[in-house]
Amino acid sequence: MDLLITAVEFLAFTVLVAVISWWKTRGDKLDTQDGYYLAGHSLIGIVIAGSLLMTNLSAEQLVGNNGQSARVGMSTMGWEVTSAIALTFLAFVLMPRYLKTGLTTVPEFFETRYDKFARRLVSLIVLFSYVVIMLPNILYAGAQVFVEIFNVEGLTGLNKFWCLAILGAIIAVVGACYALFGGLHAVALSDSINGIGLIIGGLMVPVFGLIKLGNMYGGGFSEGLHQFLTLDPVRLNVWNPANLNEPYLPWPLLFTGMVINNLYYWSTNQSIIQRTFGAKNLKEAQKGAIFASFMKICTPLIIVFPGIIAYFLYGEKVWTNNGDVAYAMIVNDVMPTWLLGFFAAVMFGAILSSFNSVLNSASTIYALDIHRPIFNPTCSDAHCVKVGQRFGTVLTVFAIVLSPFMLYMGGITSFVNSAFAAFNTPIFVCLAVGFLSKKADALLPKVIIPIHVVLYCFLQFWARNHIAALANVHYLYFTAVLFVIDMIIVAIVIKVHPRETDFVLENHSAVDLTPWKYGKVVAAISLIVMVIAYIIFSPIGVAAKGFVTYTVM
């Protein structure tokens, strides 16, 4: 009977999202470039914010970040809360320029600003990251949650690898239907609806977790909250010592490597900012970015707190498999049986949101930045859309095959973030310099990108294994140092090989570029809230005094 209730709840919410998304987008023109890839410039602020959040927040974060917090405590929230800085930069520095240029993809700007080679280089790098890193990890993390929560191994008799493979395939097929047949509008709308479900379902986990923690000490929710704040205050300290390695987040990185990492992700990553390109106007794009910054400050309630509560409930058992079992463990234990179906649907929606967003962006980049300019410059929009759909289908199959092998890659969050760091900084540097400097010419990306990638790979994958002094250096320190080197190279290249004529950003906007009147005030409030969060979880707040550390398995 319980299984039937779970199945009914799951199907009801999943079908509801699909029906609403279909109904609201049934009249969309999907045979044009703007209609399919930019939602016909129809997206409003709240939809953009919900889609930004859901593209970012999936099982990968729910599993990975909670796994890290179960091991090292509250410092994991840095990945979430500091995103407000990058989203503010996106809203007021880059967004007006993006929309003025009339872009559909980020690599498109690299041809406008530099040359065709730069566009193709960035396109190939981004596609590689989506295919090899993002899509397989989204499927793996999502499948991991369902395997653990619903004891799929026990029900099917299959080993974990094959359970992950089968569930990953199911997730991929459903997500591909949204991404390939509905276009950006369907993706963004379903993201927003699933976002509401995720907020409700996600908050249930820490609430029920605190109730169980309180029960262990003879009380209820309030006692659980008291124990959460007092059992081990050191775990609530976000300010980790400067010399710690991952999965810790040393405090200097909050002002250096973390900021650089977030600037790429939130203001350059195609799978994120494509929904802002589809904004109705600049005002709605800025609203979406700032609303998303408020949401990111609140997300530790969902993707950090449960991991810490899991540690208090189960001890070092949550450190199994780099902590990636912590979230499934607490959900399986504290979530009432009658709510499991709804929670499963919410999780399924979160996974779909990330998968279909990345898949849609990958198809966009291939169709518009590789296929059309290289293989068929005169092809129609309708043909280009079909090419993108076919490419997305191939990517889906490849991600399905690769995803179960992520089981052997260690902690999800550390693997994904360290892999991305190889190329995210030079792409962001070239884009920002391209917008802000009139003198940089086409030589810049040809120099910056390969030098950065080679140096990062040398430091991260060779030097730290052969040079004792670098063995325990956090990879975001490498990002910070290499950013400085990148900027020195930028200055040298511009000085030695400046552009013959000053670059002028021409206006090709298809939307109104009037900024949001109250945008800067609201953004300032968001940044103040971010600072307050860091004060609360510090030695002068709820955390113990000093920088005390503890053993991590």
Q: What is the pLDDT of residues 179-238, one digit of tens each?
A: 666 666 677 777 778 778 888 888 999 999 999 999 999 999 999 999 999 999 989 999
Residue 550 has pLDDT above 50, yes or no: no
For residues 236 and 224, what is the distance between their CA atoms, to the nearest angstrom? 15
62 vs 270: CA distance, rounded Å: 22
DSSP assignment, residue 407? G
* SS3 state at 250: strand
CATH number of 2-21+29-408: 1.20.1730.10
| Closest by CA position to 326, among listed 9, 73, 524 | 73
* Alpha-carbon span 534 to 530, nearest angstrom: 7
The answer on pLDDT for 136 being more than 90 is: no
Q: What is the DSSP letter of 320?
A: G
Name the more confident of 320 and 398: 398
- pLDDT confidence of residue 549: 44
* Banded model confidence at residue 412, pLDDT cuts 50, 70, 90: low
Higher pLDDT, 135 or 151: 135
Q: Where in the chain is CATH 1.20.1730.10?
A: 2-21+29-408
Summarize the confidence of residues 333-353 as an average pLDDT. 84
DSSP secondary structure string for all residues of 331-364: HHHHS-GGGHHHHHHHHHHHHHHHHHHHHHHHHH
Q: Is 192 left (phi over 0), alpha (psi -120 to 50) or beta?
A: alpha
Reduce the secondary structure of 167-226 to three states and give it as a string. Answer: HHHHHHHHHHHHHHHHHHHHHHHHHHHHHHHHHHHHHHHHHHHHHHHHHHCCCCHHHHHH
> For residue 530, how many C-alpha atoms fall within 13 Å in the half-sphere facing its CB?
26
Q: Tell me which of 98 and 346 has the higher pLDDT.
A: 98
Cα separation, 236 vs 543, in Å, equals: 5
Give me the pLDDT at residue 552, please: 45
What percentage of the chain has pLDDT greater than the value 90?
A: 40
pLDDT digits (tens, 9 = 90+) for 484-535: 999 999 999 999 999 989 999 888 888 999 999 999 999 999 999 999 999 9
Tokens of 438: 């009139």
* Nearest CA among 164, 171, 70 for reference residue 409: 164
Predicted local confidence at residue 211, as pLDDT: 96
Helices and strands, counts by H and E, the chain:
27, 0
Is the alpha carbon torsion for 139, 204, 88, 64 positive or negative?
negative
Amino acid identity at 170: I
- The number of residues in the chain equals 553
